Amino acid sequence: MNEIKLLSSVSHPNLVRLLGCCIESGEQILVYEFMPNGTLCQHLQRERGKGLPWPIRLGTPGYLDPQYHQYFHLSDKSDVYSFGVVLVEIITGLKVVDFSRPHSEVNLAALAIDRIGRGGVDDIIDPYLEPHRDAWTLSSIHNVAELAFRCLAFHRDMRPSMTEVAQELENIRLSAWIVPDVYLGSPGRSSTSSGDDEDDGRSEKSLATKKASIESKRLFVPERNQVEYLSSLEEGVKDSSPVSVQDPWFSEQSSPSSNSLLGNAQ
């Protein structure tokens, strides 16, 4: 009934419209609009088309919250969990439930939590994506996997809000337009407007230090006045920023999570 109430009250081009329902005579049927292009699962399994490249998968925004089996109650954080499963499905191209996999990996969420938690994201990336063809593709896939890991946290209060999820996905998508490795000027070119060699030396040394600090946080810097921009970032890069899924993550918008990498990358 919650799904019926929710879908009947919203309208969005990325959501399938609920046309009607039947709850009479013991039948529980939901009638959705016809999707002529098939489902996400059909495209990922190559049942329709030749598959989906990474940029399209990243732009593709449903599975059951495990705590529902304890409390029989769904919340907004239940949708966050379900979305986390979708993110993993997009990254891996694997079926959500597949009994041909080992017993502990039948459930895709369990498989993803294990691999991502142990730093083995590369083991489950869909080879079709060619993740190693460029640095951004591999980095963004890892970032989405980290986000999915947080969404799949067993306890609801450890999951981010959908607002945070949407913002982080947007940040990852926009990072494709940012040129990395622009912290230091090319050889022979001054990093500041001053022509003084001593100032140049100090500037390059400072930039090198900031470059190492920022790269350790997996931040990208757009190409512009480098000294000015990096100085402005000093306030935003905190020493306490987490650098792995095992480090604590703190959010001003939702409850703390111990599984964050992206909390400060907005």
What are the residue ranges spanned by the domains of the chain?
Answer: 1-34, 39-177
Token pair for 78: 């239940």
* pTM (global) more than 0.85: no
DSSP character at residue 161:
P
Write the pLDDT tens digit of every residue in 183-197.
Answer: 434 444 444 444 455
Spacing of C-alpha 73 from chain mean position? 26
Q: Which segment, 36-40, 73-77, 110-114, 222-226, is predicted with the most confidence on average?
A: 110-114
Higher per-residue pLDDT: 246 or 20: 20
**Is the predicted pLDDT of residue 169 greater than 70, yes or no?**
yes
119 Cβ contact list (under 8 Å, min separation 6): 244, 245
What fold is seen in the domain 39-177? Transferase(Phosphotransferase); domain 1 (1.10.510)
Write the pLDDT tens digit of every residue in 84-136.
Answer: 999 999 999 998 888 889 988 888 899 999 999 999 999 999 988 888 878 88
Write the pLDDT tens digit of every residue in 128-157.
Answer: 888 887 888 899 999 999 999 999 999 989
